[in-house]
Amino acid sequence: METKLVIFDMDGVVIDSENLYYTALVEQAQAMGVPGITREYYRQFIGGGNERMVKIIAHDYHSDQLAHDLVWGSIDRVGDLVDQGHLELKPGFLTLTDYLMEHNIPFVLGSSSELSNVKRMLGKLGVYERFDAFITADDVQQAKPAPDIFLKAWEIGGQPDRQQTLIIEDSVNGIKAANAAQIPVIMVPDVLPPTPATQKATVAVLDDLVAVRDFIAN
C-alpha cells in the first residue's frame, strides 16, 4: 500500500542519542551518590520521555526531589555532550528523508522529548528544517506508551488513511504507542534488540533507515 505519511521517533531513530542519555544519567547518579542506575534499569525508560522517568525514579527511590535532580541534571549533561560534538545522525536518515522529499511524502517528528531538546539536537545536526512538523512531550498530557503523540502527529500530518501511515520506532514504549494509535510501525533496533513480541507488533524489523527507504519504495 502506498505510504502517504511517515512519523519518526527521534532518540535512537533519527539521532544516535540513547547511549548519551545513559552515560549522562550514570554520571549524574555518581555525582549525587545514587546507586543502582545500571543499563538494565535504564532500559525501561527508553522511548518514554523525561517526565515518565522522573515518576518511576521517584517511586523507586521514594523521593520526588532526588528524581527531579537526577533526571534534569542528566539532561543538562546531555546538552553539554551535544555541544561538545558527541552526537551523530543514525545511518540512512538523510537517504530516507531525501527519498521522502523527492516523492512528496510528508514526514513528522513524534518524540517524547521536549521541543527545546528537539530543537537543540536536530539543530546541532542541521536537520531540524527537514521535518514538516513536530509533536513533542510539550503537546500532550501523556507521553509514550500512550498513543497521544502519534495521534497528534498523524493529525498534523494531514490524517491520511492510518494504513497508509508509517511510524518508525526503536523502543518497546514507542511500539506500544503506535499499536495503541492503530498505525503500522517499523522497528529499527537501537539499544534494545527485537523480541518475538515486538516482531509480532510491527510490520517489519529492519536494520537501518536505508532499509526503511527500500521498504517504502517497494
Helix (H) or strand (E) holding 169: strand 165-169
The range of the structural domain enclosing residue 62 comes to 18-83
Residues 186 and 114 in one domain: yes
Specify the number of domains making up the chain.
Answer: 2
Taking the C-alpha atoms of residue 36 and residue 129, their distance in angstroms, rounded to an integer, is 39
Taking the C-alpha atoms of residue 169 and residue 160, their distance in angstroms, rounded to an integer, is 19
Residues 11 and 22 in one domain: no
Residues 195 and 152 in one domain: yes
* Res 118: pLDDT: 95
User: Is the pLDDT score of 1 beyond 80?
Assistant: no
Domain end (from 83, 107, 124)? 83
* Res 191: pLDDT: 86
Mean pLDDT within 93-109: 98
Mean pLDDT within 9-26: 93
Q: What is the pTM of this model?
A: 0.90
Mean pLDDT within 7-25: 94
CATH number where 152 lies: 3.40.50.1000
Partners of 134 in the beta sheet?
A: 109
* Confidence band, pLDDT 50/70/90 cuts, at residue 23: very high
* Confidence band, pLDDT 50/70/90 cuts, at residue 192: confident
Partners of 6 in the beta sheet?
A: 107, 166
* Res 190: pLDDT: 92
